[in-house]
Amino acid sequence: MTSAQTLRLASYNIQKCVGLDFRRQPQRIMQVLDGMQADIVVLQEADKRLPPRPAALPHFMLDEAGWQIVDLGGAGSLGWHGNAVIWRGDQISVRTTGHHDLPGFEPRGAVRVEFDTQIGPLRVMGVHLGLLPASRRQQITHIRRCDDGLDEMPTVWAGDFNEWSRQPVLDKLVPEMRFLPPVASFPAAQPLGALDRIALGQGITALDHGAHQDRPAHIASDHLPIWADLQRAG
């Protein structure tokens, strides 16, 4: 775990716990989560695709490992629209939660959790954007509008943005957020694309960030998890 002055936040597309060997092995995902030593983790593809969207990563495994699961309203699911948020540590508690339907060609969603943490109040937006550039633009704009109506709070966006370009495409769409420099996270075995990203709003900064490559992350999903060590700015 991180120190009292920092918080490690991670994002991980777990691909419904199906690895690159086409085996569904949730225990490998748990090994990766344990190895990251994160305080808060935003997950994508955490539930199976078809209704009622049961959890791909069993609740009991997370419970036994000491993880708390944010209740995002999906009965039997781990999250909402496949997005989930988990945390552990006695310095963290949940204030409020919410979720947003996102426009675009495919059904997509975003989740919002406001925490009290060791570095102060923190709003976390977990996202999994669409495959089409036009949809991603619509979705970023929609999430930005959702943020505009909320109380001011240090904010982090994290998730699978599905953006292959290393140019500041996302940054230009939401200039009030600072995307951390891209790190390759996909495909897990030989990462080339920085599809998974973390962006920071005012009041928060990152001491360090990267992709977690320790085994079995190379095979547990088609994405590597990414992480950032956060602290209050100024």
Domains annotated on the chain, with CATH: 7-232 (3.60.10.10)
Residue 64, both tokens: 């036994």
Pairing, β 93-102 against β 108-117: antiparallel
C-alpha closest to that of 47 among 12, 20, 78? 78
Helix (H, G, I), strand (E, B) or coil at 11: strand
C-alpha closest to that of 156 among 174, 129, 130, 132? 174
Q: Which residues in the chain show pLDDT less than 50?
A: 1
pLDDT value, residue 1: 47
Q: Evaluate if pTM is beyond 0.85.
A: yes
pLDDT tens for residues 128-161?
Answer: 998 998 899 999 988 888 777 788 999 999 999 9
Q: Terminus-to-terminus CA distance in the chain, angstroms? A: 23
pLDDT tens for residues 82-99?
Answer: 899 999 999 999 999 998
Helix, strand, coil % in the chain, rounded to nearest 5 = 20, 35, 45
Describe the strand order of the beta sheet including 84-87 as a list of residue ranges. 68-69, 84-87, 40-44, 7-13, 226-232, 204-211
